[in-house]
């Protein structure tokens, strides 16, 4: 008797006629959150914004009338306990999808396992090239002609999850980290809004290393 090793196909499908409920996580100025606040239509609802520190992202959410939560992390804290508390805080808002938008903490198994296949992250490079926190500098140092933005699903690795969408950004002669990153951010803001709108319409499917939006 043969045993199939095919990966299971896991669909993520929004409730018919209901907006896609998202929780956004951020750690800084909240410019990506602002692009969601300004760019999302009624098919997507930001039900809460959370952070690991007191920062501008929470202020932007509050100004837009969006509920916020803070699960503060201090150096030396038990990471497993912090991740469990973060998972509980997210779950309290019953999201369909969690969006990591400039969230500067690596999500642990307590969060990833609870929301597996439902956490989206934006990354300022064309994964699998240049993962990690220094993607823009790494692309410049390597001398590539193209980099870009990726929206991918979060798994147990660092920037290793299945890719949902990508868009290229050319590297110009004389670019600095700042100039290149600003062009990537412009693309990133449009890309995540587009992915969320398409997900709200038809969901997405995960099959092992592959993922695609169902439209």
123, 134, 152, 172: the active-site residue: 123
What confidence tens digit (pLDDT) does each residue in 108-121 have? 999 999 999 999 99
123 assigned to active site: yes
Which whole number is the average pLDDT over 35-41? 98
Percentage of the chain with pLDDT > 70?
97
Predicted confidence (pLDDT) at residue 40 exceeds the cutoff of 80: yes
Which whole number is the average pLDDT over 98-106? 94
Write out the DSSP string of 53-107.
SS-HHHHHHHHTT--EEE----TTS-HHHHHHHHHHHHHTT--SEEEESS--S--
Per DSSP, helices labelled H in the chain are: 31-39, 56-63, 79-91, 109-112, 135-142, 177-202
Phi first, then psi: what are they for 123, rounded to 5°?
-135, 135
What confidence tens digit (pLDDT) does each residue in 111-159 have? 999 999 999 999 999 999 999 999 999 999 999 999 999 999 999 999 9
């Amino acid at each position: 008797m043969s045993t199939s090793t095919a990966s299971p196909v896991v669909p993520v499908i929004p409730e018919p006629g209901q907006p896609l409920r998202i929780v956004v996580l951020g750690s800084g100025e909240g410019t990506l959150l602002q692009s969601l606040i300004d760019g999302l239509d009624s098919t997507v609802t930001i039900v809460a914004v959370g952070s690991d520190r007191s920062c501008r992202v929470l202020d932007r959410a509050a100004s837009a009338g969006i509920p916020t939560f803070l699960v503060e992390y201090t150096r030396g804290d038990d990471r497993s306990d912090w991740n469990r508390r973060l998972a509980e805080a997210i779950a309290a808002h019953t999201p369909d999808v969690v969006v990591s938008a400039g969230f500067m903490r690596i999500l642990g198994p307590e969060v990833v396992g609870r929301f597996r296949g439902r956490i989206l992250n934006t990354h300022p490079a064309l994964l699998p090239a240049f993962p990690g926190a220094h993607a823009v500098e790494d692309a410049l140092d390597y001398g590539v002609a193209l980099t870009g933005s990726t929206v991918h699903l979060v798994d147990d690795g660092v920037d290793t999850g299945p890719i949902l969408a990508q868009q290229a950004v050319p590297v110009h002669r004389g670019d600095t980290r700042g100039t290149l990153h600003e062009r990537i951010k412009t693309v990133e803001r449009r890309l995540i809004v587009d992915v969320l709108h398409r997900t709200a319409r038809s969901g997405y499917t995960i099959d092992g290393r592959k993922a695609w939006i169902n439209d």
